[in-house]
Amino acid sequence: MPRTRSQQRAREGLVSLDDDALRNVLSFLSIADGRRGPGVTSKAMRQTVASHQFARARSTAPYVLRGNTHGVVHSLATSFGTEQWHKRSCIHPLDEAQSMLSTPPENLEISIQRLGKAVAHPLHDRGFRSSLVDPHADMIASSECCVLPGSFVEYKLPFQLRISRFRLGFGYCEAQFFKCFVFEAYDRDRLAWHTLYESNGVSPWEDFNHSGPGPDVKYFDVDAFTSTRFRIRLADPRDAPEYLVSTLVARFNGRQCMHLRAFEVFGTVLPPWQV
């Protein structure tokens, strides 16, 4: 009986994950394992994921993050989809109510700089970091209001990412006036930040109405760029198009709110990467 393509690949062993790790893992399971039921199949998949061959494949092949839901942050928090994303209790800074929000991944370094503001209370900072990575959370704190240009939120990844797009949400407060910001990636060859997107004085939530539901998350396509560090930085209103400068400076007096939420990046994870 002729050998099937999957059986042939299983005999040859893992060579490359290409851009679809799950399809490759499934192709290395025998037909017999698949017929024995989900328990046997699941065990066989776990053994494959833990194998030395799979580890070597991760160190030599890229991994494409598909879709608009599961980006780098989700992948790190769930060990690339092999675990549940853990939650933690956070206290709302206004009414002290407790909420269960997503826990930021341990291997994702988050740097926060709020110029012109006092250091955030540890409990407020805990809530902000969870709201930052949780696409469904919104815990407003005064430490996020009216900060100076140059303030930023940065992600540092444990691997290189060839980025293709990013996602951003915003809290209820002043979303329609979030007009001056840039999305940047760090260029380690030039030792400088490279701008991939700039708002040019236009808020992604220009039509947001406080009487309705919270602002929707927005997606932004960017030119491909490889880095381990990405950030949202508040720009100076004076750098906006000339016809907007007087209006923006008068509105903000050089300040903006920074209620960033659901900050996620998408693209291709470059080797080596680890679950």
- Give the tens place of pLDDT for each residue, 47-97: 776 777 777 766 677 888 888 888 999 999 998 887 899 999 988 776 677
The closest alpha carbon to 161, from 56, 54, 75, 50, belongs to: 75
pLDDT of residue 124: 85
Burial (Cβ within 10 Å: 0-12, 13-18, ≥19) of residue 111: exposed
CB atoms within 10 A of CB 38: 8
| CA neighbor of 158 nearest in space, from 274, 32, 6 | 274
pLDDT at 19: 47
Is the peptide bond prior to 241 cis by the omega test (within 30 degrees of 0)? no
Location of each CATH 2.60.120.260 domain in the chain: 72-269
pLDDT > 90 in the chain, percent: 42
Could you tell me the pLDDT band of residue 98, with boundaries at 50, 70 and 90?
confident
pLDDT reading at 160 higher than 60: yes
231 closest CA partner among 255, 251, 260: 260
Answer whether 263's CB lies under 8 Å from 155's CB: yes
Token pair recorded at residue 40: 């046997």
- Say yes or no to pLDDT of 170 above 50: yes
Q: Which of 102, 26, 21, 25 is nearest to 65 (CA)?
A: 21
Question: Are the CB atoms for 222 and 164 separated by under 8 Å?
Answer: yes
| Report for 97-101, 241-245, 271-275: range of highest mean pLDDT | 97-101
- Give the pLDDT of residue 270: 93
26, pLDDT greater than 90: no
Q: Which helix (H) or strand (E) holds 184?
A: strand 181-187
Whole-prediction pTM value?
0.79
| Whole-number pLDDT of residue 213 | 64
Q: Which of 54, 189, 73 is nearest to 131 (CA)?
A: 73
**Kind of pairing, strands 192-198 and 98-102?**
unpaired
pLDDT of residue 189: 94
CB neighbours of residue 57 within 10 Å: 21
How far apart are alpha carbons 84 and 90 in whole angstroms?
19
pLDDT, residue 242, reads: 64
**Between 2.40.37.10, 1.10.10.10, 2.60.120.260, 1.20.1440.230, what CATH number should domain 72-269 receive?**
2.60.120.260
* pLDDT value of residue 152: 97
Q: List the Cα angle 65/51/62 in 5-degree steps.
A: 25
